[in-house]
Structure formats: structure tokens, C-alpha cells
Amino acid sequence: MACHCGGKIVNVSIYVPATSANLGPGFDCMGIALDLWNEIHATPADDLQIEIDGVGADTLPRDDTNLVIRCMKMMYERAGEPFHGVHLRMVNRIPVAAGLGSSAAALVGGLLAANHFLDSPFTSAQILRIAVEDEGHPDNVAPAFLGGAVLAYLEDHVVTHVNLPIRDNLTFVAVTPKFPLLTETARGVLGDHVARADAIFNVAHASFLTAALTTGNLPLLRRSLADRLHQDARKHLIPGFDAVYAASQRAGAIGTVLSGAGPTLLAVVEAGAPAQAVAQAMVNAFEQTGSTAVARILPPTTMGAHVHMKAQRTPHGAR
Ligand SMILES: Nc1ncnc2c1ncn2[C@@H]1O[C@H](COP(=O)(O)OP(=O)(O)OP(=O)(O)O)[C@@H](O)[C@H]1O
Ligand SMILES: N[C@@H](CCO)C(=O)O
């Protein structure tokens, strides 16, 4: 049941931002949308065609194992409708398996495309819940969907979330070494238990971070970005982590964290400060430890995933 509005097929273009999850102490419950966008242009069809431009063009599958298609099919199944196919053109800018929310962007994009073609049977809250349940944690999908800096937690099939009204005195430098690190791998090195002192440390720092982001208090922010739940256990997966961290601090970053599950390192920089110098220092430090890296200076965005519709004349016999 494709969306035929007034006898016309309505194509859809979906834009989904990159996201950085955790922000240091907010493991699995804090994330921020960044101004780097993937596009999915979808046309209802009776077969499957996938065109990929940009990141992942050589590696992402072009069949029904593609995450976007898997998510579209999941929505059709939930709606009790048969999925016949789709023509997709993806323009990818978010690096894959890099800690900048590529899977969340694919997931949210697929769910929104399917919901559109199904004539919107699912509410935004339902789509967010489906996305969080599929990803397993909300800290990428919530900011990808909603935009901004988001606190989110899934409990009893309900996603509790809040957008933080963060001050506009920050920008972010994301430096991505050229080796992928699947989230699954980076979660696999984490233990099942944490010491009480470490739990208290993270509760305190995540709370300070929330206050620092909303008040723009940079000295507090500088002290807030520490973590004891995941970064230390993951460092060995990212050769050069300590050197890159130190280089970012020397170059003037307020703080630097592992972006999502890594391997991207995310430096938080005061807006107007020389972000380019921080980026270069981090790239150089990665290079000195044998990894080529790409730096992106990414302001936060308060805009989340959004959908543009475009009507076309219905071809004769189209479903
Ligand atoms: N544009 C895309 N189109 C289709 N599938 C994608 C796309 N981007 C990512 N994926 C899928 O998501 C997987 C990577 O997800 P993973 O969670 O490991 O990394 P990430 O989302 O980039 O990092 P993080 O969750 O730490 O931010 C890829 O192997 C691929 O299966
Ligand atoms: N909170 C998640 C984000 C990556 O998907 C993690 O660090 O494993």
C-alpha cells in the first residue's frame, strides 16, 4: 500500500544526521546530533534497486540484507502489509562503523521511509521506540530522530527522553581513523559488572555534564567529560588513543571522548576557538601511531531526521 496522494506516487527524501553517543560519562543514554547528513531518496516499486553514493559505496550491500531495507521490511511486517520493493538512492556522508551513528541513521531512515509509504500508521513515539528496541540502546537513534543533545532511556517498552537546551558556545571535532570498529566488537570487551565507586563516578559526571551543557559553564564541562564505564576497556581497540587524547588537550580542546563505540575520538571545542588546530593535532597524533585519520569539524544540529515528499505522476499499472 504505497502512499498515492491524489493519484500520484509520492517519492520521499529522508535526511538523517550523524550522532555522537555517550559524550563520555553518559554511556548508553546521552547523545548529540551533529551537522553531517545521510540522504535516502526512495520511490515505491515492485522490485529492489539500491544505488549508493559516497561512504560505503564499495562495501554496503545492495540487496535485502542492507540495514535500510531490513528496517523498511520490519515496518511493513508490523503494519501487516506485504513489502514488494523500493528504489533507493542513498547519499552517505556518515562514516560506517566509526562511532558517528551510521547504523542509527540507516535504521531511522528506513523506518521513516516505510512509514511514509504505508501512509503513516505509526506515530513518532512508536517509531522512536521501534528504533531504540532494534538498536538496543537509545543514545544514537534518539538524537538522530529528534535532533539536539538528548538524554534517553528505554524502560518497559517506553522511551523516556528529553532534549537538553544546550548553549551555543561549543563545536565538535570528530577524528576518525581509517579502520572500522563494529559496535558489537566494542561492546564485547565490556564487563557485565561495574564497581560501585565507578557507577557513582559516572552518575556524578553525567549529571555535571548535563548542567555544564545547559549553562555553558566551560570549567565545569572540562571536569565533566570523564568516564569509568566504557572508555578504559575500549582503549586498546584504538591504537594511539592516549596520544590523540593528549594532542587534543595540548591544542586547546575542552575535553575529548570516545565517540559512541569508537574508533572516532570527539573533541569538544569552544565555538570560535581554533578547531582546525585541534583537528590537525589529532590527525597528526593518529599518523604518528600508524593510522591515517580524517577530521571533521561538526557543529551540533537541533534538527533531527526529516522527510521531504515529492509527488510524481503514477505510472500506468503501478501498485
Ligand atoms: N548508510 C548505511 N546503509 C546501510 N547500512 C548501514 C549504513 N551505515 C551503516 N550501516 C550498517 O551499520 C553497521 C555499522 O554499525 P555500527 O553500530 O557497528 O557502527 P556505527 O553505527 O557507525 O557506530 P556507533 O554506533 O558507535 O556510532 C554497518 O556494518 C552496516 O551494516
Ligand atoms: N552507547 C553505545 C553507542 C554505540 O552504538 C556504545 O558505546 O556501545
Tens digit of pLDDT for each residue in 269-307? 999 888 999 999 999 999 999 999 999 999 999 999 999
C-alpha of residue 4 to centroid of ligand 1, in Å = 31
pLDDT at position 7 = 47
> Would you say 277 is a known binding-site residue?
no
Using CA positions, which residue lies closest to atom 17 of ligand 1? Answer: 183
Using CA positions, which residue lies closest to atom 8 of ligand 2? Answer: 261
CB distance 307 to 187 below 8 Å: no
Q: What is the pLDDT of residues 24-72, one digit of tens each?
A: 999 999 999 999 999 999 999 999 999 999 999 999 999 999 999 999 9
pLDDT at position 149 = 98
pLDDT at 318 over 90: no
Closest CA to 152 of 142, 144, 165: 142
> Would you say 295 is a known binding-site residue?
no
pLDDT at position 23 = 98
**What domains can you pick out in the chain, each with its CATH number?**
4-164+302-313 (3.30.230.10), 170-298 (3.30.70.890)
pLDDT at 5 over 50: no
DSSP letter string, 61-110: -SSTTSHHHHHHHHHHHHHT-----EEEEEEE-SPTTSSS-HHHHHHHHH
> Would you say 97 is a known binding-site residue?
yes
Cell 604518528 locates to 288
CA 161 vs CA 29, 31, 107, 136: distances in Å:
9, 11, 18, 15
| Backbone φ and ψ of 91, nearest 5° | -115, 105
Q: Strand 293-298 and strand 170-177: pairing? A: antiparallel
Which grid coordinates are listed for 172? Answer: 565538535
pLDDT at 1 over 60: no
CB distance 221 to 268 below 8 Å: yes
> Would you say 267 is a known binding-site residue?
no
Share of the chain above pLDDT 70, in %: 94
DSSP letter string, 24-40: TT-TTTEEEEEEEEEEE
pLDDT at position 234 = 97
The answer to whether the bond into 95 is cis (omega within 30° of 0) is no
pLDDT at position 8 = 53
Which grid coordinates are listed for 287? Answer: 599518523
pLDDT at position 245 = 98
CB distance 38 to 88 below 8 Å: no
Which residues are CB-contacts of 267 (< 8 A; sequence separation ≥ 6)? 172, 173, 175, 248, 253, 254, 255, 256, 278, 279, 282
> How sure is the predictor about 4, in pLDDT bands with cuts at 50, 70 and 90?
very low
Q: What is the pLDDT of residues 145-168, one digit of tens each?
A: 999 999 999 999 999 999 999 998
Q: Which atom of ligand 2 is nearest to the CA of 139?
A: 1
Quick check: ipTM above 0.90?
yes
Nearest ligand (C-alpha, residue 101): 1
> E strand or H helix at 132, and its extent?
helix 124-135
Closest CA to 278 of 168, 169, 172: 172
Q: Which atom of ligand 2 is nearest to the CA of 187?
A: 8
Round to whole Å and give the CA distance between 98 and 179.
8
Say whether pTM exceeds 0.80. Answer: yes
Q: With a 6 A CB cut-off, is 106 part of the ligand 1 pocket? A: yes
> How sure is the predictor about 313, in pLDDT bands with cuts at 50, 70 and 90?
low
